[in-house]
Amino acid sequence: MKFVSTRGHAPAVGIDDALVAGLAPDGGLYVPESIPAVDLATPRATLADTALVTLAPWFEGSRIESQLHALCGHAFAFDAPLRPLAGPGDYLLELFHGPTAAFKDYAARFLAGALGALRDPAAQATTILVATSGDTGAAVAAAFHRRPGFSVVILYPDGRVSPRQAHGLECWGDNVHAYRVDGSFDDCQRLAKQALSDPTLRARIALGTANSISLGRLLPQAAYYAHAAAHHHTASGHALNLIIPTGNLGNACAAYLARAMGAPVGEIRLACNANDTLPQFFDGVDYAAQPTRATLANAMDVGAPSNFERLRHWHVDDAALRAAFVARSVDDATIRATIRAAPARHDIVPCPHTATALHLLETLRTQGDGRDWAVVATAHPAKFDSIVEPLVGAGVELPSALAACLARPAHGAHLDDSDDALARVLLKTGASA
């Protein structure tokens, strides 16, 4: 299988090169030349089994093809249960049972394993540089922690992540270095992009990234949709429709891929927070990236969804793309009201991200929609206890992985919002790795 750039000005490459490069040399995103049809309707015993079937066609001819089974076993070692909610046809797809209690754990662990397997043991150590609005950094840190040949530098916006998210970024130590930046996520992203495109820096240290545009993050995420849909379809005879809390569109693109490969996934709806770039577009307004607005669902505070280029690539024109998805914006007041009502209404406590999707489900039911819908639970509510607990008036139980992380000391440091400060940090980290 070959991968091409969404911008069409880069040579087609195999999966190994695409994984290591992250971004295509013309600035585009790698997409598969074609989407293979796979038997994803047959339910497999474990999530790791489904992941292997889903990922195998992409890795045909890869140097690590023979290790794919082990890589899937490692990345998909924890379950993604599809739980029935109180209402008929209402389900919750729980993607938060990994080490950092968010869905990004699956793909971050797969990417770390794959890059580790592809690595030449004699080569210089690689520094993975990642800008994060909260959850990505923790998942990447956990996935690369103590992995030989890698160190991680995390940049996150000071004061704009929840206290537990901050601890989750700073609790690793060893080869993981977390830095608080005065500024927004966009400032962190700009610093990271500048460093990654700085030729003098790149000549001295091996820099890599692990953000959501990497194919190694995107492709594995199709597995949990394929797994849930196959089991649901076999048991009920119905396709599984999905409502996905959306920021950079990585998770939604993966659901799209799962369906295009043959998984019995029905409609895909996108739940956004007050950052309404996508709802505007899908309602017919010309695409226009916007500045990011801070909301309660901070991992979705995205004004320029990076994977939008992939969705455009997969549709002949904007009209076709608009016909394929529905996207809705959910404001903070509605997120709060949805969380407050959720224990009585659905017998769950959702995180603020999951609450956006839950609200869309409630709207569909009010409109009389009777299909089977899975709300995708992207993070565990305990990560956002300071928002959620006052709303529901009760404590949320801490998953054991999060408790272990909170019990470790924090190791973060402050970083000035300047290219020089970051370059110094990277040179020091690169030299000691």
Shortest separation between residue 67's beta carbon and ligand PLP, angstroms: 26
**Region binding ligand PLP by CB under 6 A among candidate stretches 61-69, 111-119, 247-255, 334-342:** 247-255
Residue 228 touches ligand PLP, criterion: CB under 6 A: no
| 378 lies in the site for ligand PLP, by CB under 6 A | yes
Cβ-based neighbours of 427, under 8 Å, separated by 6 or more: 201, 204, 205
Among 296, 300, 358, 382, contact with ligand PLP (rule: CB under 6 A)? 300
The distance of closest approach from Cβ of residue 250 to ligand PLP in the complex, given in angstroms and rounded to an integer, is: 3
Q: Is 263 in the site for ligand PLP (CB under 6 A)?
A: no
Beta-carbon contacts of residue 119 (< 8 Å; ≥ 6 apart): 126, 149
Check residue 258 for interaction with ligand PLP (CB under 6 A): no
Options 41-49, 59-67, 250-258, 423-431: segment touching ligand PLP (CB under 6 A) = 250-258
Query: Which residue number, 209 or 251, has a Cβ lying nearer to ligand PLP?
Result: 251
Q: Is 140 in the site for ligand PLP (CB under 6 A)?
A: no
Residues within window 151-210 making contact with ligand PLP, judged by CB under 6 A: none
Is residue 353 part of the contact set for ligand PLP (CB under 6 A)? yes
Q: Counting contacts by CB under 6 A, is residue 277 touching ligand PLP?
A: no
Pick 105 or 170: Cβ nearer ligand PLP: 105
The contact set with ligand PLP (CB under 6 A) reads 102, 104, 135, 212, 245-252, 299-300, 353, 378-379
